[in-house]
Structure 1
Amino acid sequence: MKLFFITLLWLFTSFNSFATAIEKIVSIETGMGKLEGTLLTNDFKDSKTVVLIIAGSGPTNRDGNNPTMINNSLKMLAVQLAKIGISSLRYDKRGVGESKSSGLKENELRFENYIHDANSWVEYLNNLRNFKKVVVIGHSEGSLIGMVASQKNNVDKFISIAGAGQPIDQIIREQLKSQSPVVIEQSTSILDKLSQGETVENVPVFLNSLFRQRLQPYMISWLKYDPQKEIAKLNKPVLIVQGSTDIQVSLMDADKLAAANKNADKVVIQKMNHIFKEATLDRQSNFQTYNQPELPIKPELVKVIGDFVLN
């Protein structure tokens, strides 16, 4: 499908006395509506490497925010990368923010839609011809999306940040282990059917938020992808980054991804949580950082990405 690239405006912002960041709002047409993103670079003519930043699950926008939390994690990452000479493109997911026109009804959405969107942005960056290398960074659910998108030859390197190391049904099963026997029994039966590609008509009310019928087709499409199998397909440089105080994705997930691709580099950043902020393992204080946009991201994350991307 042919893409039409639309430049909307240029904004110039000074980050420090040594470099001027150029912020360009860009969009692509998907055939189902527009996707909008922000291209950020400290020197559009001379910057030769660009990273595509893919957000995590839910209604997450290009800055890493959603209606229930504002932390600016992805925006901060892009700004800090620009300071060390790495350009970036981050975008609103379909149906979110300025990409709202491309949204699908819940029962029409498939995991492949997100993969297609990532591929389209990679194509956009390659067509710019200003960059010699395109690197994909996937955060959380965006890690799996990025893994699949990076299997094409037009991606030079891949970075997973806080990416799950097992299929979504296994993650849900583990998360529900602490629930009552009734919840475990009912959810296990539903997950077994979804894993076989079958929808479930009668979902208990107490499980409706997780397994409502309109969401089931998306879950079935998501269940087709095993992160360990997908990352094993990458025959290019791979970096796996995990925070030691991430209470959503565990160190075990990073270990599983690293074991699946023997050529991948794995880095654990101490005291970094799921949204790149410094935090302890205390759940309450950890989650409080999700709504503290003034907190900076861990500088070690920027250094690790910079070393991998630029070398």
Structure 2
Amino acid sequence: MSAQEAITTTHAGLQGDLAGTLEGTLAQGTPAVLIVPGSGPTDRDGNSPLGIAAQSYKLLAEALAQRGIASVRIDKRGMFGSAAAVPDPNDVTVDDYVADIESWADRISQASGGQCVWLLGHSEGGLMTMAAAAKDPSRYCGLLLVASVARNLGDVLRAQLAANPANAPLLPEIDAIIAKLKAGDSVPAAGMHPALVPLFAPQVQGFLGSVFRQEPAEVIAAHDLPVLILNGSADLQTPAADARALANVRPDATLVILERANHVLKQVPDDTSAANLATYADPDLPLAPGVVDAIVEVVTGSDAS
């Protein structure tokens, strides 16, 4: 087992520390990866009180350390170990998360002799790392995009809602809300259809608007850093088509589609959604074959097999 230790950072925009776990050793000549978690209450280990206990980030960090790559996995501002950083975890924007990523990158770089840092973003975290690299690519070695969406998240959300025929009468209102939030406006809950209030609640509108203004195809093309685009063929949330679309924008990127791997980077035994979702609650199931090799190969610049 590799050594784990607590690590923190903070910056002027916060009221307290951001907390994470360092796996391996930060040192000159040792590559370092910052693991940025996915959407909602996803913690540094890749778990969530919403029914996810796959330990994906913890398993990944341990595997990388065994291959000589250090990592820091983090709790987002306002959540878990980073709860003291801000009073309200919903009061956040993409720019806020980018500022946190920059603070973490500086902390890791200072501890490892001034080296650049690799950014690994999972799911929504992929969009945050793309935004960070687009803002200031000089801080980073490259991007490791895992199950990252290629489409505007406003379009993704609309498509998900439109897939349910029962939502058809609400689609014009949904379109209007997404357009207003994308433009930086707010939408009063009082005038909203009650079924839409949980989704577009006033406390998350600032975040949603900032996300809807991000165009993955633009931010991934804003620099020439090395990029790994990794997706599972059995991902129920981010289809492999998204990975291929990102790779079309960055044809120089390394594209890896892992057969039967799912959104939490576990291998699924069959094509049923029940078997797929069962892996979300299984911390003892190892990462899908090929996940670690793909990352190691890009980070070290050599064939990991």
TM-score (normalizing by structure 1): 0.89
TM-fit CA distance, 1:131: 6.6
What is the alpha-carbon distance in structure 1 between the residues aligned to residue 254 and residue 300 of structure 2? 15
Q: Cα distance 1:286–1:131, how it changes in 2: closer, same or farther (>3 A)?
A: farther
The answer to whether residue 181 in structure 2 is matched with residue 194 in structure 1 is: yes
Q: Which residue of 1 aligns with 2:32?
A: 50
What is the alpha-carbon distance in structure 1 between the residues aligned to residue 159 and residue 146 of structure 2? 21
TM-fit CA distance, 1:183: 2.7
How many aligned positions are there? 291
What is the alpha-carbon distance in structure 1 between the residues aligned to residue 288 and residue 40 of structure 2? 23
Q: Cα distance 1:310–1:188, how it changes in 2: closer, same or farther (>3 A)?
A: same
DSSP 3-state at the match of 1:101: helix
What is the alpha-carbon distance in structure 2 between the residues aligned to residue 254 and residue 128 of structure 1? 33
> What is the CA deviation profile of residues 58-82 of structure 1, one whole-angstrom value per residue up to 9, with x for unaligned ones?
0111100111221100000000011
Query: Do the aligned residues in 2 keep the contact of 1:22 with 1:44 (CA within 8 Å)?
Result: no
DSSP 3-state at the match of 1:215: helix
> What is the CA deviation profile of residues 244-275 of structure 1, one whole-angstrom value per residue up to 9, with x for unaligned ones?
00000011211121111222111101110000
TM-fit CA distance, 1:93: 0.8
The answer to whether residue 53 in structure 2 is matched with residue 66 in structure 1 is: no
Q: Which residue of 2 aligns with 1:85?
A: 68
What is the alpha-carbon distance in structure 2 between the residues aligned to residue 115 and residue 291 of structure 1? 30
> What is the CA deviation profile of residues 16-62 of structure 1, one whole-angstrom value per residue up to 9, with x for unaligned ones?
xxxxx222211112332110111111x55576111111000001111
**Matching of residues 227-306 of structure 1 within 5 Å:** 227-279=216-268, 280-306=270-296
Query: Do the aligned residues in 2 keep the contact of 1:48 with 1:131 (CA within 8 Å)?
Result: no
1:27 to 8, 14, 27: 8
TM-fit CA distance, 1:204: 1.2
Alignment RMSD, CA only?
1.6
The answer to whether residue 118 in structure 2 is matched with residue 135 in structure 1 is: yes
The answer to whether residue 95 in structure 2 is matched with residue 105 in structure 1 is: no
1:205 to 194, 203, 211: 194
DSSP 3-state at the match of 2:121: strand
What is the alpha-carbon distance in structure 2 between the residues aligned to residue 247 and residue 262 of structure 1? 25
TM-fit CA distance, 1:211: 0.8
Gaps spanning 5+ residues in structure 1: where?
1-14, 16-20
DSSP 3-state at the match of 2:154: helix
Query: Do the aligned residues in 1 keep the contact of 2:26 with 2:112 (CA within 8 Å)?
Result: no
Gaps spanning 5+ residues in structure 2: where?
none
DSSP 3-state at the match of 2:199: helix
What is the alpha-carbon distance in structure 2 between the residues aligned to residue 210 and residue 189 of structure 1? 14
Q: Cα distance 1:133–1:195, how it changes in 2: closer, same or farther (>3 A)?
A: closer
Amino acid at match of 2:271: L
Query: Do the aligned residues in 2 keep the contact of 1:81 with 1:88 (CA within 8 Å)?
Result: yes
DSSP 3-state at the match of 1:293: coil
Query: Do the aligned residues in 2 keep the contact of 1:166 with 1:227 (CA within 8 Å)?
Result: yes
Q: Which residue of 2 aligns with 1:222?
A: 211
> What is the CA deviation profile of residues 158-189 of structure 1, one whole-angstrom value per residue up to 9, with x for unaligned ones?
11000000111000111012222213232122
Which structure has greater strand proportion? 1
DSSP 3-state at the match of 1:199: coil
DSSP 3-state at the match of 1:156: strand
TM-fit CA distance, 1:218: 1.3
Query: Do the aligned residues in 2 keep the contact of 1:242 with 1:269 (CA within 8 Å)?
Result: yes
Amino acid at match of 1:70: A
What is the alpha-carbon distance in structure 1 between the residues aligned to residue 291 and residue 89 of structure 2? 34
DSSP 3-state at the match of 2:32: strand
Query: Do the aligned residues in 2 keep the contact of 1:138 with 1:159 (CA within 8 Å)?
Result: yes
Query: Do the aligned residues in 2 keep the contact of 1:165 with 1:257 (CA within 8 Å)?
Result: yes
TM-fit CA distance, 1:198: 1.9
> What is the CA deviation profile of residues 120-141 of structure 1, one whole-angstrom value per residue up to 9, with x for unaligned ones?
1011111113474421110000
